[in-house]
Structure 1
Amino acid sequence: MSKNIWDSTVPLQPVETSGGGKIVQDFFGLHDTKSAEKAPVIALAAGSKAQNYVDETERQRLNLGKSFPGRLSKVNIRHLTAYIANHPDHGLCLYVDQKTSRPPSEVEIFINGAKNRLVVDTHSFFDRLTNEQVADSLIRSLYSNYERKHVLMISD
């Protein structure tokens, strides 16, 4: 008897209507059943509620799942996203959100006008940020120092 599907006398139906839903799951293990069982996140917020939700999610992502109360100023430096904040021990700091070879429990911050790098613990850095608003002139100064020294690589 031929094994060619076209020579078969069995009436063929599409997988969707013939109860063949398991075929996708069984086909070489390409279907991830863990993610299939999760319900998709549906955003029900709008306007300022949506912005607050995005900000809170961003804070949790930065601090490894734990929110923090301090104030962050977000700036875009060419292709990078940077955060500027006041820290009681380190003063005005700049944190660049990019992938590094460091473990997630450590962050690299720039201090002293973006001249010096410092590696600190993620939680101890973000949890201790102050609520002081940083002046726009200081943000522009720190932004331009970082861009000149670390992005464009112009030395003093």
Structure 2
Amino acid sequence: MPTTIAFLSGLLFSCGLILSGMSDPAKVLAFLDLAGAWDPSLAFVMLGAILVAAPAFALARKRGRSFDQQPINLPPTRNIDARLIGGCLLFGIGWGIAGICPGPALVLVGLGNAKGILFALSMLAGMLIFEYLERRTRQTTC
């Protein structure tokens, strides 16, 4: 049952990304182009997502379990540190250059989009490099 719920949630999310235009890198780049032909429509998509997600996260924190009784693992800390800021900066720079972030990249992969496939492969390489460096750091501190 959890796999079915995850699949249906991902499918709904993907459809929302396609419908809103968030899977179109050109539309995202137009949103980020404040000095040029700025397209504010994605701000409304983000606002809608926040309005849906905020109460859902509040409910999840209270319940501690999903509706199918799976444990919910929310981040244990709310600390803002250099590592978090650095990650945000890297994410934002990548988003600004490509006009793609992880969710829409997977939608583009599913659509067979070459730019999305290249982005997803690069994202996967970055995650593997991160895991490798994390393991090395843990080994040297132990």
TM-score band by shorter chain is under 0.3
Larger radius of gyration: 1
Is the helix fraction higher in 1 or 2?
2
Asked which structure has the greater RCO (Cα within 8 Å, sep 6+), the reply is: 2
TM-score scaled by structure 1? Answer: 0.23
TM-score scaled by structure 2? Answer: 0.24
Is the strand fraction higher in 1 or 2?
1
